[in-house]
Amino acid sequence: MDVVVVVYRLFVALLAFVATKEIWLEGDLHGLVFFTNQSNLAFGVVLVWAAVASLGRVPQPPVWLKGGVTLFLGITGLISHFVLAPEDPDAPVLFLGLTSGQIEHQITPIAAFADFVLLDRHRRAWWRTPLLWLGYLVAYVCFTTLRAELLPEPHYPYGFIDLGELGWGGLAVNVAMYGVGFYALGMVIVTIDRLLPVGPLIGSAGERGPLAARTTSGTARERDEAGVR
């Protein structure tokens, strides 16, 4: 079953990399300003790490990172569905009949959540972890605002964080509103993590691989600690 998990993770990572190829393959660094691209690119890297960890070759990605990209992709999918305009129907097909928007806004958010729930070990997250994830949102807004104001012609990736259109008051209201949603969804992820069994629902998460013997005591200690965090 671990081999199936590895193949699944590498395939989904391939989709994430295909959807962001203009950044890492063609050098379009401008694309990094978009939260969608940042989330998917990070997800691809973390999923390759997790695939190798599924064989017990390296430790699993830490929960603050794995849970974080799961949250960020969840936010990406929700904002795409409820806030952003639909993708251009003439958008080019990238891979297996899928467009970039379909991969980044629909497939990877669902795949990230399924991977987190089914394939990861659980009860690793702390209740304060969503505050760390919320810090990423604040850092992202600071980055996009500073970048736009330093450009000769200000350019914001999304209208709901456009300082020129909203003003400081409107921007602050939007950041607070999205911040509450961001934090709430983060708490949902932590709650799910705490309610699920410690072991993965599918596969072994590398616990039967070469690292298993060296991490048995550490794993037991983590499980004990998880019950009191």
- The per-residue pLDDT string of the chain (229 residues; one tens digit each, 9 = 90 and over) reads 889 999 999 999 999 999 999 999 888 888 999 999 999 999 999 999 999 998 877 899 999 999 999 999 999 999 888 888 888 888 889 899 999 999 999 999 999 999 999 999 999 999 999 999 999 999 999 999 999 989 888 889 999 999 989 999 999 999 999 999 999 999 999 999 999 999 989 988 777 655 554 444 444 444 444 444 4
How far apart are alpha carbons 146 and 149 in whole angstroms?
5
How far apart are alpha carbons 208 and 197 in whole angstroms?
17
Would 9 be classed as within a structural domain? yes
Would you state the pLDDT for residue 189?
Answer: 96
Return the amino acid letter for 129.
T
Domain hosting 119: range is 2-224
Would 229 be classed as within a structural domain? no
Count of domains in the chain? Answer: 1
Would you state the pLDDT for residue 114?
Answer: 96
Would 86 be classed as within a structural domain? yes
In degrees and rounded to multiples of 5, residue 228 shows phi and psi of -115, -5
Counted residue by residue, the chain has a size of 229
- Taking every pair of Cα atoms in the chain, the longest distance, rounded to a whole number of angstroms, is 58
Would you state the pLDDT for residue 88?
Answer: 83
* Cα radius of gyration (the chain): 19
pTM equals 0.85
Would you state the pLDDT for residue 225?
Answer: 43
How far apart are alpha carbons 118 and 50 in whole angstroms?
13
Q: Is the CB of residue 53 less than 8 Å from the CB of residue 59? A: yes
Would you state the pLDDT for residue 224?
Answer: 42
Would 209 be classed as within a structural domain? yes
For residue 75, the Cα-to-chain-centroid distance in whole angstroms is: 9
Calculate the average pLDDT of the chain: 88
Would 49 be classed as within a structural domain? yes
H-helix segments, 20-162: 21-24, 35-54, 63-82, 100-102, 108-119, 129-150
Would 42 be classed as within a structural domain? yes
Helices (H) and strands (E) in the chain, counts: 9, 2
Return the amino acid letter for 137.
L
